[in-house]
């Protein structure tokens, strides 16, 4: 999702530093962005000049220290609290005074993540949907100490990116995954208990409930590891 977030920011005119753990991962992310931009050009959604300009705005890096004094960051690492708080400490050390630090977490506590930095009022949840260049929603989650200014800047930025912001409080799973993941889990139970085939379970939800993708197909798309991680957060939180 990090590459998709970088793609959207760069396409809207922002200078982006794309931080990855290894150079080969950064190279792979840039290749994915270029491929997805080519797809948009082929569909007439953007011009070839737009594509070239967007790519020119993305600088790969191996540490936030390579972008000292940045004003806004979006973290998109794995759903592990210890990893996220480690990244936030790095971001906090490199950021400009007053910079906003956003997390793309899909379920973890924004308040707990914010506790790892000097000023928790500058931390907010900015949960993009996958694939980021296509999906319009950004779920914005306020931690207990998130300031009104941080929220307003993040909301306005979401609109500048062409997204529709929806506000949520800092509960496990927020809105999206608190509703989605138990539904996916029930679809898996329907399959496990032999209620129906995977194809017919997905067909019922697509044609009966107007979902663009069935829950089992969606679970594969999200990743079963991610689905499990979110369900464990919900189980622990509730």
Question: Which of 3, 107, 139, 158 is the catalytic position?
Answer: 139
Whether 7 is catalytic: no
Whether 106 is catalytic: yes
> Distance between CA atoms of 96 and 170, rounded to whole angstroms?
26
Q: Yes or no: say if 163 and 138 are a contact pair by the CB < 8 Å rule.
A: yes
Q: What residues are paired with 154 via a beta bridge?
A: none
Question: Which of 3, 104, 116, 177 is the catalytic position?
Answer: 177
Whether 127 is catalytic: yes
Helix (H, G, I), strand (E, B) or coil at 135: coil
Q: Are strands 72-75 and 100-103 parallel, antiparallel or unpaired?
A: parallel
Q: Give the number of other CB atoms < 10 A from CB of residue 44.
A: 7
Q: Yes or no: say if 58 and 33 are a contact pair by the CB < 8 Å rule.
A: yes
Question: Which of 20, 36, 127, 158 is the catalytic position?
Answer: 127
Question: Which of 106, 107, 109, 158 is the catalytic position?
Answer: 106
> Distance between CA atoms of 133 and 10, rounded to whole angstroms?
11
Cα–Cα nearest to 19, from 74, 63, 85: 63
Q: Which DSSP state fits 167?
A: E
Catalytic residues: 106, 127, 139, 177
């Amino acid at each position: 999702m990090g590459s998709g977030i970088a793609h959207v920011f760069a396409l809207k005119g922002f200078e982006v530093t794309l931080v990855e753990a290894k150079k080969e991962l950064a190279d792979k992310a840039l290749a994915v962005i270029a491929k997805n931009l080519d797809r948009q050009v082929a569909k007439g959604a953007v011009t070839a000049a737009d594509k070239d300009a967007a790519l020119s705005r993305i600088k790969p890096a191996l540490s936030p220290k390579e972008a000292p004094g940045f004003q806004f960051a979006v973290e998109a690492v794995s759903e592990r609290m210890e990893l996220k708080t480690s990244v936030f400490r790095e971001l906090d050390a490199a950021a400009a005074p007053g910079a906003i630090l956003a997390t793309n977490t899909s379920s973890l506590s924004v308040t707990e993540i914010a506790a790892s930095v000097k000023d928790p009022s500058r931390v907010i949840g900015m949960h993009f949907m996958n694939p980021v260049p296509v999906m319009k929603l950004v779920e914005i989650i306020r931690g207990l100490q998130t300031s009104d200014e941080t929220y307003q800047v993040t909301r306005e930025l979401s609109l500048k990116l062409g997204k529709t912001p929806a506000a949520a409080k800092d509960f496990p799973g927020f809105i999206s995954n608190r509703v989605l993941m138990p539904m996916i889990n029930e679809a898996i139970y329907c399959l496990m208990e032999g209620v129906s085939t995977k194809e017919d379970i997905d067909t019922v939800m697509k044609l009966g409930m107007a979902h663009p993708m069935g829950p089992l197909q969606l679970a594969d798309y999200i990743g079963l590891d991610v689905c499990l991680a979110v369900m464990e957060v919900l189980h622990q939180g509730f």
